[in-house]
Amino acid sequence: MNVRNKVILVTGGAGGLGAEMVELLCENGAKLYILDLDVQKGEELEKGMRKLSYSATFLKLDLTSEEAWQEVVEKIVAAEGRIDVLVNNAGINIRKPIEEMNFSEFKTMMAVNVGSVFLGTKYVLPVMRKQGGGAIINTSSVCGLIGHRYTPEAYTTTKGAVTLLTKSIASRYGHENIRCNSIHPSTVDTPLVQEMFKDPVKKQQRLDEVPLGRLATSRDVANAVLYLASDEASFINGISLPVDGGVTCC
Ligand SMILES: NC(=O)c1ccc[n+]([C@@H]2O[C@H](COP(=O)([O-])OP(=O)(O)OC[C@H]3O[C@@H](n4cnc5c(N)ncnc54)[C@H](O)[C@@H]3O)[C@@H](O)[C@H]2O)c1
């Protein structure tokens, strides 16, 4: 997959799935910008990537601040002259069902999960238009495609919004050679999930949902991002790509 020398921004890139995306894209020769609130993890990742002679820069950014987005995009354009790919990956999940969640928690989730995609896209689009194209990849979830009974309603609401925001951008900006696609991971094998899996009933519930019979790995998810960012995906626009071992086909 060719992403060599592409300038790629990954939100929530300091940890979890975002850090895996940063590593894989670096390995493939892209120039990465890690946008995150977590300074310690962001700087560690930047250092680790540079040690391997990869190009990675951490910039602290609260993804819900419009002024901060504007500043960061200006800074990157001043340094690189272009932005080829924006990966709107960051997201949070306040794990409470609708009856237990207060409205302020709901608004926080909307601000991070949807607001950050809205703002990032808003400020990167004019840059992509000026340079004649680009690609935007949004991390939704299987919960952006189905109503998942073990997942908080607020999370599903935010991820459903990301799914259609993606298609809306794809339909309006495709003619300017700007592609926009979303990925939809099922549960990824992380330390948090391993903790949850100490409960054998919960573990069985989750594994029973997956036709391929295993959890996703961070690399499975990063591979989907690598593809959608690459030249090989140049005619792929507006898709919702499940990375879910078949969860959403049942
Ligand atoms: N882990 C899974 O099983 C799974 C499954 C499906 C979808 N997803 C989605 O994948 C994405 C990444 O998930 P993850 O598990 O890697 O999460 P994570 O919590 O491990 O990492 C999220 C990153 O986002 C950053 N972040 C959060 N709020 C921010 C803000 N306001 N400004 C700047 N940075 C902020 C955090 O500092 C963190 O580094 C999310 O959108 C999530 O909803 C995850």
Residue 195, Cβ density class (10 Å: 0-12 exposed, 13-18 middle, ≥19 buried): exposed
The confidence score (pLDDT) of residue 191 equals 83
Question: pLDDT tens digits, residue range 184-243?
Answer: 999 999 888 888 889 999 889 999 999 999 999 999 999 999 999 999 999 999 999 999
Q: Which pair of tokens denotes residue 68?
A: 């901060």
Pocket test for ligand 1, best of 67, 88, 141 (most atoms within 8 A of CB): 141
Q: Locate the ligand 1 atom nearest the alpha carbon of residue 42 and give its number.
A: 39
> Is 240 part of any domain?
yes
Distance 112 CA to ligand 1 centre (A): 9
Residue with tokens 């020398």: 5
> Is 43 part of any domain?
yes
> Is 195 part of any domain?
no
Q: Which pair of tokens denotes residue 221?
A: 């998810």
Number of domains in the chain: 1
Distance 128 CA to ligand 1 centre (A): 25
Residue 42, Cβ density class (10 Å: 0-12 exposed, 13-18 middle, ≥19 buried): buried
The confidence score (pLDDT) of residue 52 equals 98
> Is 203 part of any domain?
no
Q: Does the CB atom of residue 89 touch ligand 1 within 6 A?
A: yes
Side chain identity at 106, as an amino acid letter?
F
> Is 196 part of any domain?
no
SS3 198: coil
The confidence score (pLDDT) of residue 88 equals 98
Pocket test for ligand 1, best of 11, 23, 34, 36 (most atoms within 8 A of CB): 36
Where is 27: in which H helix or E strand?
helix 16-27
> Is 69 part of any domain?
yes
> At 64, which CATH number?
3.40.50.720
> Is 201 part of any domain?
no
Q: Does the CB atom of residue 36 touch ligand 1 within 6 A?
A: yes
Q: Does the CB atom of residue 220 touch ligand 1 within 6 A?
A: no
Inter-residue contact 179 to 135 (CB < 8 Å): yes
Phi, psi (rounded to 5 degrees) for 217: -105, 160
Q: Does the CB atom of residue 166 touch ligand 1 within 6 A?
A: no
Domain that holds residue 173: 7-188+218-249
Distance 175 CA to ligand 1 centre (A): 31
**pLDDT averaged per 10 residues in sequence order, the chain, 250 residues:** 98 97 98 98 98 98 98 98 98 97 98 98 98 98 95 97 98 98 96 88 92 97 98 98 97
Cα–Cα distance measured from residue 196 to residue 239, given in angstroms and rounded to the nearest whole number: 31
Cα–Cα distance measured from residue 241 to residue 245, given in angstroms and rounded to the nearest whole number: 11
The confidence score (pLDDT) of residue 47 equals 98
Inter-residue contact 38 to 15 (CB < 8 Å): yes
Active site residues: 155
> Is 81 part of any domain?
yes
Q: Does the CB atom of residue 12 touch ligand 1 within 6 A?
A: yes
Distance 132 CA to ligand 1 centre (A): 30
Cα–Cα distance measured from residue 49 to residue 37, given in angstroms and rounded to the nearest whole number: 18
Q: Which residue's CA lies nearest to atom 15 of ligand 1?
A: 16
Q: Does the CB atom of residue 224 touch ligand 1 within 6 A?
A: no
Distance 16 CA to ligand 1 centre (A): 7
CA Rg value for the chain: 17
